[in-house]
Structure 1
């Protein structure tokens, strides 16, 4: 978005004595018409940053008045006009290439030529960058808050199911018994990292580019820190060219969202598989039925959550492809870059909220989970561990139990743990020449074959044992609370800045 020249007094070069035709800011007859005008325009899409642009305009005008660059009376008129523009809404804006030009046109229409002084010492380049950051930071906090909500739901599921045994899988094959708590906490930990990435993206987004002008700064004695403070930014983007051109904050935000969407996709896939196996039943609010098969309960909201990872990956790829190879300073390509971030943050935030609701309201089938926990001789690792802890080399124990696996699994399928111990005993004798009792008592092995016992013994930090998961729930709750506070603190800081800006404007209108 190329900048408009100023006349050195804050007015627009080329302004007529009576302002501009029909209130429209004109940048010369040469660029007023032609079939490409609608192609160039982003006015409709810019509705998303309408409020942000008004805030940026107000902060800039307040600063111009404080710096004696614009007279107090003119600043007051401009600020009053901006109030009128806000009250009328985005749909009432005159035609323009973008929301920035349209708002300025609306102000000039109300104030006259002096309305053009609001654009003194800035370009649409630094203006749009500021508006994008202003709006995106709110969206990032909404996304982070949604991840905190999901972690709260996962932690609650874990707290209620520390002793609910379930099958654990690798390669989608029965592997070792675990617990619902351990499964839920594994996703809580992953989403916790997603929260951290979103908050870090917020912190780097929350820097002001205002004052960079087109890309080379301005001769006016502006106060960049003042506008940054009025808008709740934590500081400024130091280099003017970087401030106007840089969009890596968009990449970082979209990357964090795409990473989180990938986490969500795994959570949704697991939950869909559990529903398929009868391990859980989704609440009706997060399911639908068939148009022809009345018995169906389809967890299709989670299918859409799973698909959101594709949307997010596409958004990130589109953004990176648009930005790739752009020369420094402003290029109109950037107008096409930002929608990738908007679409991604909207889709991922909504998917996170849906996933949280689905997890929180699902009904876990404990009997089905317990029955499946021992499938496929999943206690085999526990048996090998018991033999190794008793002195048999682990590799020898592993091979012996592997040799016994088929017979032991068949015995357990017949609910005959003694026969399963016999199978292990025969394999140990074949491997070592000694009976299994030389290492582990038979009743001890029979106990280890039970999934609940196998789980209870895995009480190392981060393991599935009830003692370990109970401790992890306590830690997770503290971390969730800390991140909830971190989101709230950032929101409070933005709200406080908005209140201060309102006070400054009210004092001048």
Structure 2
């Protein structure tokens, strides 16, 4: 080898850009994933006769040592994949390099990301299920607890705490469904695709997928190493979940301000100067997490836009957006679940507020409409009565009767009994009368609770089965490794 060749060989061995290229520190997150991927690949190579069993055993034993020593003991490297391989070669000798046969870092890293991300998605799902469970428990407890309902933050119609909480549980059920859909597409193995064009070695991609607990493989080799749409889908689902949690947090912060709900001390703090203060700090941070998740999604989209096919180093900058989002959102969901489960609802203040702002006006208009008055005319009649009443107070019967004379030309009793009108003015009666599917009446809420509880049970079973499948695959892989070591 000439001196010129040696110089060329050293050209990429060092320099000021090495640190910029390195992801070794950030790769600690996928350290365990890489070890699992290495083990599955070596077991498959031995089974296929590509690497002899003795060499496979030495490599697998070295990987055990790398695992016990931990990420911090790895030699310097461009990334965790190269560092682990270096450690194995140092332990085994040149034969240790056979672990990289029929593989590229491209398919290796793509597999590691999916391997770790699916665990994180299951954690996010478990937090979401716990929040849904807390919402359902409190909704059942407060199915008949009167509460004010708002649109545009203005008093609108009376409802119940149970009906309000169920509205968020239903949104979270859809968030869980999106996460489960994303999980299904994450849980496919790219391993065996090599750099982007496959390998001449007789690899068994289905075998490594099975050893790692994946449901199948990403068929096309170029797609397998290029695709990061699974990151986009996951972070988009997390951003949607964070948006729902932000809404829960906002409502609880506002309701806390109005004295409708008191957060447990574990989810609040006091002022550094004002000793009487109780601040909903944890929920304010949970509310802000939506910004983190949305930023991660935007960062991912921007990084991935316009990349040429196959592997590009830009992808190294894409993955942290997903890690940051799943960590922040899972923590926010956990906090929201704890806050909901331990909050105390002030039933007296809620009942008082339920009648503010003539919140039963729509019920009176509906009553007139059900007795032959066109709804728009009924709306005009009730609005006229409201205009003559004191602010935030329901009009007296006499005011409604006078409005009917002005707008309809007849007294109210020409259309509906006085007792029915007075019942419609009562917030509790107003709620009880809205028993259509999805409404706040106790029977309607009971039906919604039954549906939601059944769906939650199904989702819990699905997530538990996914956890069990990953654990079983991990046990099976370690059993196979034991045969060689």
TM-score, normalized by the shorter chain, greater than 0.5: yes
Question: Structure 2 CA distance, aligned partners of 1:107 and 1:391?
Answer: 85
Tell me the alpha carbon deviations over residues 305-350 of structure 1, each in whole angstroms, 9 at most, x when there is no partner: 0000000000110111111110000000000000000000000000
After superposition, what is the alpha-carbon deviation per residue over 1:73-128, rounded to whole angstroms, capped at 9, x for unaligned?
00000000000000000000000000000000000000000000000000000000
Q: TM-score, normalised by structure 1?
A: 0.93
Q: Distance in 2 between matches of 1:408 and 1:188?
A: 37
- Per the normalisation by structure 2, the TM-score is 0.97
- Is 2:311 the partner of 1:330? yes
Q: Is 1:138 aligned with 2:114?
A: no
Partner of 1:447: 423
What is the root-mean-square deviation in Å for CA atoms of aligned residues?
1.2
**Which residue of structure 2 aligns with residue 431 of structure 1?**
407
8 Å contact from structure 1 (residues 121, 213) kept in 2: yes
- CA distance in 2: counterparts of 1:439 and 1:60, whole angstroms: 81
Q: What is the rounded CA distance, in whole Å, between the counterparts of 2:63 and 2:134 in structure 1?
A: 43
Q: What SS does the aligned partner of 2:434 have? A: coil
Equivalent residues in 2 for 1:305-316 (5 A)? Answer: 305-316=286-297
Structure 2 alignment gaps of length 5 or more: 2-7
The 10-residue stretch of structure 1 (443-452 or 197-206) with the greater mean CA deviation from structure 2: 443-452
Residue of structure 2 equivalent to 1:499: 475
Number of residue pairs matched by the alignment: 479
1: distance between equivalents of 2:69 and 2:9? Answer: 28
Partner residue of 2:339? 358
Q: Separation in 1 of the partners of 2:100 and 2:399?
A: 85
Q: Matched residue of 2:224: which SS?
A: helix
1:216 paired residue number: 197
2: CA distance, partners of 1:440 / 1:178: 24
Task: Specify which of 4, 26, 44 is matched with residue 63 of structure 1.
Answer: 44
Counterpart-to-counterpart distance in 2, 1:28 and 1:273: 65
Contact 1:408 1:424 in 2 (8 A): no
1:323-402 matches, cutoff 5 A: 323-402=304-383
Tell me how far 1:409 sits from its aligned partner. 5.0
1:202 and 2:183 are equivalent in the alignment: yes
For 2:398 and 2:103, the matched residues in 1 are separated by: 84
Q: Report if aligned partners of 1:408, 1:421 keep a CA contact under 8 Å in 2.
A: no
Give the 5 Å matches for 1:149-298: 149-298=130-279
Equivalent residue number for residue 459 of structure 1: 435
* Counterpart-to-counterpart distance in 1, 2:156 and 2:200: 69
| TM-fit CA distance, 1:441 | 1.0
1:28 Cα offset (Å): 3.9
Question: In the TM superposition, what is the alpha-carbon distance from 1:408 to its structure 2 partner?
Answer: 4.2
**Structure 2: how far apart are the matches of 1:348 and 1:444?**
49
In the other structure, the counterpart of 2:453 is: 477
Give unmatched runs, 5+ long, in structure 1.
1-13, 15-26
- Per the TM alignment, residue 406 of structure 1 is displaced from its structure 2 partner at its CA by 2.7
Q: Is the 8 A contact 1:407 1:420 kept in 2?
A: no
| 1:10-21 correspondence runs (5 A) | none
1: CA distance, partners of 2:475 / 2:310: 33
Deviation at 1:393, TM superposition (A): 1.1
CA distances 1:442-480 after superposition (whole Å, capped 9, x unpaired): 121111111110000000010011111112111111111
Name the SS of the counterpart of 2:11 in structure 1.
helix
Q: What's the offset of the Cα at 1:31?
A: 1.3
Secondary structure, aligned partner of 2:20? helix
Q: Deviations over 1:191-250 (max 9, x none)?
A: 000000001111000000001100000000000000000000000000000000100000
Deviation at 1:407, TM superposition (A): 3.0
SS of equivalent to 2:369: helix
Task: Report what 1:45 is aligned to.
Answer: 26
Q: Is the 8 A contact 1:126 1:211 kept in 2?
A: yes
What corresponds to 2:5 in structure 1? Answer: none
Contact 1:377 1:408 in 2 (8 A): no
**Per the alignment, do residues 28 and 130 of structure 1 end up closer, same or farther by CA in structure 2, a change over 3 Å counting?**
farther
CA contact (8 A) 1:65 1:71 kept: yes
Q: Give, in whole Å, the separation in 2 of the partners of 1:404 and 1:321.
A: 55
Distance in 1 separating the partners of 2:280 and 2:457: 30
Partner of 1:20: none
Report the Cα distance in structure 1 between the residues aligned to 2:342 and 2:9, rounded to whole angstroms.
61
2:72 aligned with 1:91, yes or no?
yes
Secondary structure at the residue paired with 2:159? strand
Partner in structure 2 of residue 147 of structure 1: 128
Deviation at 1:430, TM superposition (A): 1.0
